[in-house]
Structure 1
Amino acid sequence: MPAAIAKPTAAELDLLQTLWPLGAATARQVHQAMQAERPDVTYATVLRLMQIMHGKGLLIRDDRQRSHVYAPAQAQDSLQTNLLKDLIQKAFAGSAKALVLAALRSGISSKEREEIEQLLKDDQP
């Protein structure tokens, strides 16, 4: 049985959101990309976080070059699915329906509601 992947913290998820579109990148490249949203983030913080994430198994690292290249250990959809399953079990007693109803009550836009309705219509047999 494979070992469970560590659950990322909020800061680690933020970094993954930056890294997933890049695919693989050096700490400097991730830092530059993150600065667009968070100009206060330092290179040292990004590097340290990436090293921690590598240690936790959230990132893989290619250290064949002078600048280490990091990549997510899991694809975005795979990690999101695992986190969602965990959330459904812990917060909604295993009920996906309860999660969906809570999400719908939390104030989605009319555009999002239309998209959801279309997805449900398209999925009908």
Structure 2
Amino acid sequence: MKKYQPTDAELEILQVLWEKQPATVREIFDKVAQKKEVVYTTVLKQIQRLQEKGVLERLETNEGHQYRCLLDQVDFQRNWLQKTVDMVFDGSVSKMAMHAISEKADKSELEALKIWIENELKKQQ
């Protein structure tokens, strides 16, 4: 599959499935509906389109049709983040990190990042 760039709505469905899969349309809808107002048939249509694109697989089970994501979450995140860094931050990981940290990180996250950076620096020595 070529590099897949999901819409925001598709990404919400993928996140639900990465958390728990396989899942029925009802289970996916219920999770998405917890975050925003959405119509069941819209979620169903998005799931069908994701299946047509080869992103989801439909399984026949005792519970009925269930879906699972064929994209590995870590690989997808890595590719998506690299594309974002390249397109939005001119390829600069440090610019991206500084922007993200200045916007949302709390003290515990900053401490965790500090430890991670120190460990990465040790690896490169």
Name 1:68's counterpart in structure 2: 65
Q: What displacement does 1:101 show? A: 2.1
Give the TM-score taking structure 1 as reference length: 0.82
Name 2:47's counterpart in structure 1: 50
- 3-state DSSP class of the match of 1:106? helix
Q: Which consecutive residues of structure 2, in runs of 5 or more, have no partner in the other structure?
A: none
**Structure-2 separation of matches of 1:107 and 1:34:** 23
Name 1:89's counterpart in structure 2: 86
Name 1:18's counterpart in structure 2: 16
Give the TM-score taking structure 2 as reference length: 0.82
Name 2:7's counterpart in structure 1: 9
**Structure-2 separation of matches of 1:23 and 1:66:** 13
- Kept after mapping to 2: 8 A contact 1:24/1:71: yes
Q: Which consecutive residues of structure 1, in runs of 5 or more, have no partner in the other structure?
A: none
Cα deviation, 1:7-41, whole Å, max 9, x if unaligned, reads 11111111111111112112122112333333x32
Percent identity between matched residues is 28
Q: Is it true that 1:105 corresponds to 2:102 in the alignment?
A: yes
Q: State the aligned residue count.
A: 122
Q: What displacement does 1:54 show? A: 1.4
**Structure-1 separation of matches of 2:45 and 2:104:** 37
- 3-state DSSP class of the match of 1:69? strand
